């Protein structure tokens, strides 16, 4: 059935039709769509109209076009969050009705680098602890986390106690409370170390959130670099007119 049933621009009708077909699972997640020739013939539109619709659908992250391969339906993110709220990964997973878990990779104490000295306003004699973990949802790896924090800010037994959250460990002294974070988001492609751990193929993208966490005295107390599976997570921000 063609889509020339209303008076809107044809590419908008194509978009609605393809979204409807995806919702109805006529085209399933990760499934390759028919060729442009077949789709344009089925929908009764020109290939130029179809290409404009596909371009906009790709901008919405509903489809992905792989050069020389074809057009595929993107999986819908299981987890979505507004980055204006500092919420934990566990809470995001729980809000999606899934069970969060942690695979502890490593924690090691080492000398500060020049970046650490500048980032934390640390002394040359200070040490920093790097913690690497994989966060899971119903047992499936979805986030790879790398956190750096001054050793002096954590309890002495932190490395031995792998189950304590970093926020909780920082607040055990009673002098530190994480108040806010400054976040930078970068999309990346295949990562030699992280992608295999998160079971991502070469075609799967990652979202990297780099976060500087500040206490109530505007001091950086934690630096995080988290790799999120882009097919599982989406982030948004509410922007208000000023």
Instruction: List per-residue pLDDT tens for the chain, 242 residues long.
Output: 455 556 678 889 999 999 999 988 899 888 899 999 999 999 999 999 999 999 999 887 788 888 788 898 887 766 666 666 677 788 888 888 889 999 988 989 999 999 999 999 999 999 999 999 999 999 999 999 999 999 999 887 777 776 667 888 888 876 788 999 999 999 888 899 999 999 988 877 899 999 999 999 999 999 999 999 988 887 777 777 77
Q: How confident is the model at residue 85, as a pLDDT?
A: 67
Which distant-in-sequence residues (6+ apart) come within 8 Å of 96 by Cβ? 78, 79, 137
Tally Cβ neighbours within 10 Å of residue 20.
11
Q: How confident is the model at residue 235, as a pLDDT?
A: 78
* 223 φ/ψ angles, rounded to the nearest 5 degrees: -115, 125
Q: How confident is the model at residue 84, as a pLDDT?
A: 66
CA distance 15 to 52: 9
Six-digit token string for 239: 């922007």
The vertex-127 CA angle with 121 and 132, nearest 5°, equals: 100
Could you give the 3-state DSSP secondary structure of residue 120? helix
CA distance 194 to 132: 11
List the domains of the chain with CATH numbers: 10-73 (1.10.10.10), 79-236 (3.40.1410.10)
Q: How confident is the model at residue 163, as a pLDDT?
A: 61
Could you give the 3-state DSSP secondary structure of residue 17? helix
C-alpha torsion sign, points 109, 141, 57, 237: negative
Q: How confident is the model at residue 145, as a pLDDT?
A: 95
Q: How confident is the model at residue 143, as a pLDDT?
A: 94
Q: How confident is the model at residue 162, as a pLDDT?
A: 62
C-alpha torsion sign, points 92, 94, 95, 97: positive
CA distance 190 to 202: 5
pTM here is: 0.71
CA distance 190 to 209: 16
């Amino acid at each position: 059935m063609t889509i020339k049933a209303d008076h809107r621009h044809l590419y908008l009708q194509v978009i609605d039709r393809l979204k409807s077909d995806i919702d109805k699972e006529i085209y399933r997640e990760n499934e390759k769509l028919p060729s442009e020739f077949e789709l344009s013939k089925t929908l009764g539109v020109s290939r130029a109209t179809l290409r404009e619709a596909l371009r906009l659908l790709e901008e919405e992250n509903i489809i992905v076009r792989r050069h020389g391969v074809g057009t595929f339906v993107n999986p819908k993110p299981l987890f979505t969050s507004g980055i204006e709220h500092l919420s934990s990964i566990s809470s995001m997973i729980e809000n999606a009705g899934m069970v969060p878990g942690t695979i502890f990779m490593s924690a090691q104490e080492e000398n500060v680098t020049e970046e650490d000295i500048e980032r934390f306003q640390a002394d040359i004699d200070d040490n920093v602890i790097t913690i690497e973990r994989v966060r899971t949802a119903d047992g499936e790896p979805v986030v790879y986390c790398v956190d750096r924090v001054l050793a002096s800010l954590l309890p002495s037994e932190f490395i031995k106690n792998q189950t304590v959250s970093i926020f909780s460990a920082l607040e055990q002294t009673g002098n530190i409370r994480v108040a806010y974070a400054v976040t930078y988001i970068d999309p990346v492609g295949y990562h030699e170390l992280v992608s295999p751990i998160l079971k991502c193929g070469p075609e799967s993208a990652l979202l990297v959130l780099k976060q500087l966490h500040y206490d109530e005295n505007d001091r950086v107390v934690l630096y995080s670099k988290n790799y999120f599976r882009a097919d599982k997570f989406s982030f948004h921000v509410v922007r208000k007119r000023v």
